[in-house]
Amino acid sequence: MLPTVCILAGGLGARLGELTKNTPKPLLEVADEPFLSHQIRLLARHGASKIVLCVGYLGHMVEEAIGYEQEGIEISYSYDSKDLDGTLGALRRARPLLGEHFLVLYGDTYLQLDYADFANRWELSGLPAAMTVLRTTGTNYLPNAVFRDNEIVLYDKFTKTNEMHWIDYGLEGLNSSALDLVGEEVSDLADLSKVMSLDHQIFGYEVTKCFYDIGTPEALLETDAMLRARSH
């Protein structure tokens, strides 16, 4: 059984233009149903029993559409403030629902990995955080991580170094106590990850399969095609 999975689903989806004007990104129709339903079904297959959805923009629509149970998974909601809290701020607000350790992913990604193996190996590492990484090839993605000896020894979303050959894949793990390592003024989870990487506190887990997302119109079409192909 997986730890509680926190899905960050409060963003505006600005890159999708008119598609998200009246519909929150997680509810966009992909392969004939809300994208979030595909994500929940995937997590159920990997042993999830509890999901916390961090919602913001049109969050009430997500709650109304998804409800409080799907695929045998208990679903609860944490709402951003009106100004939106940022990724780390959303985790702080959801903290009472998350437990001592939890997984974090984004509400627009479909990740192909063994979630249980990731969670188990993170636990065995004894480290307070974990990050999945994918080795970059060509120029498809801008690398942001240095992965060595099963640890993320540097993570920096904004400054590239020559040692960076990996990109964060989109699934992380955190102990609740890690949320206290930076001040309340820090609202981006990436900033906390950078601090923890410099202190050798992040277990690294390499993934080899590509990920899918719905963050742009082009990516949405690609993910739609992939999910339709899998349903046949």
Concatenated DSSP letters for 49-82?
-EEEEEE-TTHHHHHHHH-SEETTEEEEEEEPPT
Burial class of residue 127 in the structure, from the number of CB atoms within 10 Å of its CB (0-12 exposed, 13-18 middle, 19+ buried): buried
Whether 1-111 and 117-210 share one fold: the answer is: yes
pLDDT at res. 84 = 75
**Tokens linked to 215:** 């963050």
Q: Over 90: is that where the pLDDT of 1 sits?
A: no
pLDDT at res. 11 = 87
How many Å apart are CA 181 and CA 192, to the nearest integer? Answer: 7
Domain 1-111 fold is Spore Coat Polysaccharide Biosynthesis Protein SpsA; Chain A (3.90.550)
pLDDT at res. 82 = 82
pLDDT at res. 232 = 56
Per-residue pLDDT tens for 21-57?
999 999 999 999 999 999 999 999 999 999 999 999 9
Domain boundaries along the sequence of the chain: 1-111, 117-210
Look up the pTM and report it.
0.95
Q: Over 90: is that where the pLDDT of 12 sits?
A: no
We find that the CATH architecture of domain 117-210 is Alpha-Beta Complex (3.90)
pLDDT at res. 130 = 98
Q: What would the mean pLDDT of 181-194 be, rounded to a whole number?
A: 96
Query: Within 13 A of 66's CA, how many CA atoms are on the CB side?
Result: 33
Per-residue pLDDT tens for 53-92?
999 999 999 999 999 999 999 999 999 988 778 999 999 9
